[in-house]
């Protein structure tokens, strides 16, 4: 019996569903937990231009960059697509349209004495950053954001539309907030998630107005902020994986969601922080050679746990 023809809309949905990445839960493989595999989507992208567009829309939805080499490869891919767009190639893809969530781990900023291979074309990256739905950066890779905001093509006062920002690592705000482009970007952020490596919030008094919390987060830089989430010290013991230096850490995340008019700063000054909801976020820990432990937040970002915290907080109101 021949298979009946399907509407184009249904065919596209089937392709997008089949192109979704598969996640491995075996932490013993290269000490990696829940890493995505895009093999199915990339195979579908080779069928035809129409299949390519549908499959790559799913593949590019969430971009995870873990190394400087991956950042360079991603920028090279954007340049290639830009060239194909100018040539009206049927293989051309609109990366700023397709990339909805972008994460970059520790990518060190190139220095003047680095070889040319270390050069980063921040201007090429800017259109993708400004139009994403969610951006996530380790503070060591924040130069990708503030240098893109200062590039020749940037005009964040007019065209910045990304409303959500996730930051991890040790805070380093000055390079971002000290420029006009950085200030314009921060003023448009509505949802801010701070997943610090070593949460400092245990020292904050949570049984009264959190004035110190207001100062630590520098809420005056975020006049449009309506949602704020901050990692707390873990309340449960880490769960060790098969690989001896990798473990799961159930982190508590304190969430402020302001559904009324006003800013998060005003909310903090008039709300008992101990009454704010907390959610559990599964961070990944790694034992370093020195014996110290560090937290890695790429998996929570990849799995959408930052957005899930907002949904849960809004439902609790």
Residue range 55-64: mean pLDDT, rounded = 91
Query: Model pTM greater than 0.75?
Result: yes
Q: Which helix (H) or strand (E) holds 294?
A: strand 293-296
Kindly give the residue spans of alpha helices, DSSP state H, lying in the chain.
Answer: 8-18, 39-44, 49-59, 68-86, 95-98, 122-131, 143-149, 156-159, 174-177, 180-187, 211-217, 264-270, 298-302, 305-316
Tally of CB atoms within 10 A around 141: 22
Residue range 46-54: mean pLDDT, rounded = 89
Q: Which pLDDT band holds residue 273 (cuts at 50, 70, 90)?
A: very low
What residues pair up with 284 in beta bridges, in sequence order? 248, 296
What is the per-residue pLDDT across 116-157, written as a single tens digit (0 to 9) for each?
Answer: 556 789 999 999 999 999 999 998 899 999 999 999 999 999
Q: Closest Cα to residue 151, out of 174, 172, 130?
A: 130
* Rounded Cα distance, 61 and 48, in Å: 20
Residue range 76-92: mean pLDDT, rounded = 94
Query: Which of 81-90, 166-175, 239-248, 290-299 is most confident?
Result: 81-90
Give the chain's mean pLDDT.
Answer: 77
Sign of the dihedral defined by the CA atoms of residues 252, 294, 130, 81, in that order:
negative
Of residues 177 and 164, more confidently modeled: 164
Sign of the dihedral defined by the CA atoms of residues 124, 127, 166, 242, in that order:
negative
Q: Closest Cα to residue 222, out of 286, 159, 268, 155?
A: 268
Contact 276, 263 (CB under 8 A): no
């Amino acid at each position: 019996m021949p298979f009946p023809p399907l509407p184009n809309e249904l065919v596209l949905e089937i392709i997008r569903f089949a192109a979704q990445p598969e996640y491995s839960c075996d932490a013993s493989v290269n000490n990696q937990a829940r890493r995505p595999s895009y093999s199915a989507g990339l195979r579908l992208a080779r069928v035809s231009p129409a299949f390519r567009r549908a499959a790559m829309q799913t593949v590019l939805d969430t971009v995870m960059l873990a190394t400087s080499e991956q950042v360079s490869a991603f920028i090279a891919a954007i340049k290639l697509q830009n060239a194909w767009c100018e040539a009206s190639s049927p293989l051309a893809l609109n990366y700023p349209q397709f990339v909805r969530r972008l994460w970059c781990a520790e990518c060190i900023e190139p220095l003047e004495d680095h070889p040319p291979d270390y050069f980063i074309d921040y201007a090429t990256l800017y259109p993708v950053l400004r139009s994403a739905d969610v951006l996530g950066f380790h503070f060591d890779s924040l130069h990708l954001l503030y240098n893109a905001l200062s590039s020749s093509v940037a005009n964040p006062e007019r065209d910045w539309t990304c409303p959500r920002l996730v930051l991890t690592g040790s805070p380093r705000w000055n390079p971002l907030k000290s420029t006009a482009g950085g200030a314009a970007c921060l003023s448009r952020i509505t949802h801010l998630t701070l997943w610090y490596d070593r949460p400092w919030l245990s020292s904050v008094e949570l049984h009264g107005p959190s004035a110190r919390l207001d100062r630590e987060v520098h809420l005056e830089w975020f006049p449009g902020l309506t949602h704020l989430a901050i990692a707390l010290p873990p309340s449960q013991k880490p769960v060790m994986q098969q690989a001896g230096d990798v473990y799961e850490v159930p982190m508590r995340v304190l969430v402020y969601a302001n559904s009324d008019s006003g800013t998060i700063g005003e909310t903090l000054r008039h709300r008992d922080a101990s009454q704010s909801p907390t959610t559990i976020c599964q961070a990944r820990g790694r034992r370093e050679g020195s014996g110290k432990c560090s937290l890695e937040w790429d998996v929570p970002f990849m799995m959408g746990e930052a957005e899930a915290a907002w949904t849960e907080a809004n439902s609790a109101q």
